[in-house]
């Protein structure tokens, strides 16, 4: 009986340590490069977790992703050259570089791309403009809608993972990512935001009254794996 008790205790302890390790491993870094610069004067960059930053403008800097989450960096507006280590499947590429100009108040996503790897192809990085930072300066005739997503990981909260797309007035599409925010800048007036879901479920449509000079927050999550739940909070 005692043997069984100790065996169960040991197994339980191993499971707790394993889950704790996974949870800490899943956490991604979020960093502000220069805290002396107001956040509204900085760009916000999400970096694919297949990329680890090794340098910025020639200066050594490490910023790595979690297992299921992408790191985020706030960086003063300007032109930057990033150095990366890229990992994809069984491939590892060192000294990969990417140069681009980033605007204050914008949200970007740096993504790894590849082509013809089996025949000696190549890797490269692209910049995707996703929308706006939640710190974006807004004018008196504008409203910033901040889309907040819950965090998730593959083991404990699988329903919060993946992209949810928000279509504004049937035209522009903005992506939301688990654990991150993406903001939409709207002029005064009424706007329809359609939150696109898995084809098996109905989309969620919300009408926004953009009165100008304010921010609106939407807490968006996935529950029951694929169904969207939305909570609106106006500030």
DSSP helix/strand/coil, 121: coil
Note whether 40 and 110 are same-domain residues. yes
pLDDT confidence tier of residue 12, bands split at 50, 70 and 90? very low
Report yes or no on 81 lying in a domain. yes
pLDDT at 66: 53
4, pLDDT greater than 60: no
pLDDT confidence tier of residue 20, bands split at 50, 70 and 90? very low
Report yes or no on 34 lying in a domain. yes
153, pLDDT greater than 80: no
Do residues 228 and 220 make contact, with C-beta atoms less than 8 angstroms apart?
yes
Report yes or no on 45 lying in a domain. yes
d(CA 123, CA 44): 24
Note whether 122 and 50 are same-domain residues. yes
Note whether 34 and 127 are same-domain residues. yes
Report yes or no on 52 lying in a domain. yes
Higher-pLDDT residue of 141 and 120 is 141
Do residues 109 and 128 make contact, with C-beta atoms less than 8 angstroms apart?
yes
pLDDT confidence tier of residue 42, bands split at 50, 70 and 90? very high
Report yes or no on 228 lying in a domain. yes
Higher-pLDDT residue of 209 and 224 is 209
d(CA 50, CA 70): 8
DSSP secondary structure, 34-70, as one string = -TTS-GGGEEEEEE-TTEEEEEETTEEEEE---SS--
Q: How many residues does the chain have?
A: 235
Domain count of the chain?
2
pLDDT at 156: 45
Tokens 């297992």 belong to: 67
Report yes or no on 23 lying in a domain. no
Of the residues 132, 156, 182, which one is the last residue of a structural domain?
Answer: 132
Of the residues 132, 162, 179, which one is the last residue of a structural domain?
Answer: 132
Report yes or no on 137 lying in a domain. no
Which residues sit opposite 88 in a β-bridge? 91
Note whether 148 and 182 are same-domain residues. yes
pLDDT at 65: 59
Note whether 73 and 164 are same-domain residues. no
Q: What's 206's domain CATH number?
A: 2.60.40
pLDDT at 16: 36
Report yes or no on 110 lying in a domain. yes
Note whether 149 and 62 are same-domain residues. no
Indicate the pTM of the whole model: 0.80
The residues, ordered by sequence, that sit 6+ positions from 31 with a Cβ below 8 Å of its Cβ are 63, 71, 72, 73, 74
Of the residues 107, 132, 157, which one is the last residue of a structural domain?
Answer: 132
pLDDT confidence tier of residue 13, bands split at 50, 70 and 90? very low
Q: What's the domain range around 227?
A: 142-234
């Amino acid at each position: 009986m005692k043997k069984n008790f100790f065996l169960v205790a040991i197994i339980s302890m191993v499971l707790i340590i394993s889950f704790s390790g996974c949870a800490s491993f899943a956490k991604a870094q979020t960093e502000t490069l220069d805290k002396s610069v107001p956040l509204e004067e900085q760009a916000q960059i999400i970096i694919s977790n297949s990329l680890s930053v090794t340098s910025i403008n020639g200066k050594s800097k490490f910023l790595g992703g979690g297992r299921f989450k992408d790191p985020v960096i706030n960086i003063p507006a300007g032109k930057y050259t990033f150095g990366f280590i890229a990992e994809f499947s069984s491939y590892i590429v060192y000294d990969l570089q990417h140069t681009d100009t980033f605007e204050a108040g914008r949200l970007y996503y740096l993504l790894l791309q590849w082509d013809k790897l089996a025949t000696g192809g190549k890797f490269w990085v692209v910049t995707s403009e996703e929308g706006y930072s939640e710190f974006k300066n807004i004018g008196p005739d504008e409203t910033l809608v901040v889309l907040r997503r819950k965090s998730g990981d593959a083991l404990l909260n699988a329903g919060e993972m993946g992209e949810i797309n928000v279509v504004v007035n049937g035209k522009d599409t903005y992506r939301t990512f688990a654990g991150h925010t993406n903001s939409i800048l709207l002029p005064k007036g009424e706007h329809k935001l359609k939150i696109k879901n898995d084809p098996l479920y109905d989309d969620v449509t919300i009408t926004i009254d953009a009165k100008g000079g304010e921010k609106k927050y939407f807490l968006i999550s996935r529950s029951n794996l694929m169904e969207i739940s939305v909570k609106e909070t106006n500030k």
